[in-house]
């Protein structure tokens, strides 16, 4: 049994990790300022909740002094590409600033193991697909650059202070806990799958397809959708490896299968049995044409393999969540 501090644990991905840790018997403390997270996402999980902001160094020190942790996982971040272009200072302050405060507090209090939420956005427009971790990161927006900065900071802290970390580069997270109790709830919602399901529920008239002239088979953007519970499994494996003395690592987390925007809509039509009207719209700035992961590194290093390889199943779990919680938490 290990003791975890989960920063940003009330958010979409964090709350699924919290649930998985508690289910296997670990002790979990969640620190979250609830700016985008939801108390309901962890209320019945068995984790202890501490309201607070990762950018507040004093609060972090108090927390580390009252309780011992074996590992910290850091999910708290601003994560919208478009918003990062118009508010870069907010993104650097919250993402880079928050990570610095957290790493400082960990160093002062002798906590060495760190699991970090990174992103496929660090790759920018990749020169080769599927993308391997050795592909040179060239982020094309402030969000991706803020995450890449933290990855580099982690490398420096590992050398200087003996920090050991796993940086997990998520591709497109989707789906929900099959129990239907927790799921995705952003406000405003900008992500494709929840928006498509809101159309299926009759909450939106149609889905805009951002660009139909991309250099892809059907002209729409291709992404690698990975189930949020598979992401959660990977966090547990990565933390266990650090606990066993493993070296610092960077892993992609994706299914190695690309789905176009049109394919997502078609799958959602099949799963929901609803019509889901679409409208062709201009490209969204900052979108790369095709992001598909190679996840062979984490498969062979940690034995990770996704339980939800079928994208239809991913959409089914998301649909259950949205149907049962049409207005979110
Ligand atoms: N997308 C779209 N219409 C929408 C929202 C998203 O066509 O209303 C496209 C978007 O351009 C991208 C894909 O769906 O190619 C996934 O976008 P999302 O925002 O879900 O995730 P991202 O890839 O930006 O992390």
Whether residue 275 sits in one domain with residue 166:
no
> Ligand 1: which atom is nearest the Cα of residue 191?
20
Domain hosting 34: range is 3-174+225-253
- In this structure, is residue 16 part of a structural domain? yes
- In this structure, is residue 186 part of a structural domain? no
Tell me the CATH number at 205.
3.90.25.10
In 10 A of CB 189, how many CB atoms?
Answer: 16
Whether residue 196 sits in one domain with residue 122:
no
203, 254, 261, best to mutate for ligand 1 pocket (most atoms within 8 Å of CB): 261
Stretches where the chain sits below pLDDT 50 are none
> Ligand 1: which atom is nearest the Cα of residue 172?
25
**Ligand 1 atom 25 nearest Cα:** 172
CA–CA distances in Å: residue 216 to residues 221, 262, 290: 7, 11, 8
Q: What is the pLDDT of residues 151-164, one digit of tens each?
A: 999 999 999 999 99
Whether 195 is in the pocket of ligand 1, judged by its Cβ within 6 Å, is yes
- Which residue in 4, 91, 123, 143 is the catalytic one? 143
What's the pLDDT score for residue 57? 79
Whether residue 117 sits in one domain with residue 169:
yes
Whether 266 is in the pocket of ligand 1, judged by its Cβ within 6 Å, is no
Q: How many CA atoms lie within 13 A of 75 on its CB side?
A: 27
Strands, sheet with 3-7, edge to edge from the N-terminal-most edge strand: 48-51, 27-32, 3-7, 71-74, 113-119, 164-170, 249-253
Q: DSSP of 271-291, one letter per residue? A: HH-----EEEEPPPTT--SEE
Tell me the CATH number at 27.
3.40.50.720
Query: Cα(24)–Cα(27) distance, rounded to whole angstroms?
Result: 9
Distance of CA 293 from the midpoint of ligand 1 (Å): 16
- In this structure, is residue 185 part of a structural domain? no
What's the pLDDT score for residue 118? 98
Whether residue 209 sits in one domain with residue 129:
no
Whether residue 215 sits in one domain with residue 306:
yes
What's the pLDDT score for residue 58? 85
What's the pLDDT score for residue 132? 98
Whether residue 202 sits in one domain with residue 156:
no
**Ligand 1 atom 16 nearest Cα:** 192
Distance of CA 176 from the midpoint of ligand 1 (Å): 18
- pTM, to two decimals: 0.98
Q: What is the total count of domains within the chain?
A: 2
Give catalytic status of residue 170 as yes or no.
no
């Amino acid at each position: 049994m290990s003791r975890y501090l989960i920063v940003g644990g009330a958010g979409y991905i964090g709350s699924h990790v919290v649930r998985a840790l508690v289910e296997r018997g670990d002790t979990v403390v969640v620190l979250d300022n609830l700016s985008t997270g939801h108390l309901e996402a962890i209320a019945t999980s068995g984790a202890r909740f501490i309201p607070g902001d990762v950018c507040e160094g004093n609060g972090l020190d108090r927390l580390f002094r009252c309780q011992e942790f074996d590992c910290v996982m850091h999910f708290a971040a601003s994560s919208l590409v478009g918003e990062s272009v118009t508010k870069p200072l907010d993104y650097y302050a919250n993402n880079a600033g928050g990570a610095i405060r957290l790493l400082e507090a960990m160093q002062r209090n002798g906590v060495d193991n760190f699991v970090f939420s990174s992103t496929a956005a660090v790759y920018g427009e990749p020169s080769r697909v599927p993308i391997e971790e050795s592909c040179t990161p060239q982020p094309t927006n402030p969000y991706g650059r803020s995450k890449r900065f933290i990855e580099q900071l982690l490398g420096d802290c590992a050398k200087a202070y003996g920090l050991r970390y796993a940086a997990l580069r998520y591709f497109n997270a989707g789906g929900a806990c099959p129990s239907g109790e927790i799921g995705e709830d952003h406000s405003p919602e900008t992500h494709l799958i929840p928006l498509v399901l809101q159309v299926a529920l009759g909450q939106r008239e149609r889905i805009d397809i951002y660009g139909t002239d991309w250099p892809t088979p059907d002209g729409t953007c291709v992404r690698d959708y990975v189930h949020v519970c598979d992401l959660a499994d990977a966090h547990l494996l990565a933390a266990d490896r650090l606990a066993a003395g493993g070296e610092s690592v960077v892993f992609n987390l994706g299914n190695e299968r690309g789905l176009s925007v049109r394919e997502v809509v078609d799958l959602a039509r099949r799963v929901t049995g609803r019509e889901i009207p679409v409208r062709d719209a201009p490209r969204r700035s900052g979108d790369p044409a095709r992001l598909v992961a190679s996840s062979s590194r984490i498969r062979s290093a940690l034995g990770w393999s996704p339980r939800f390889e079928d994208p239809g199943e991913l959409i089914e779990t998301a649909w259950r969540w949205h149907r049962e919680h049409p207005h979110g938490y």
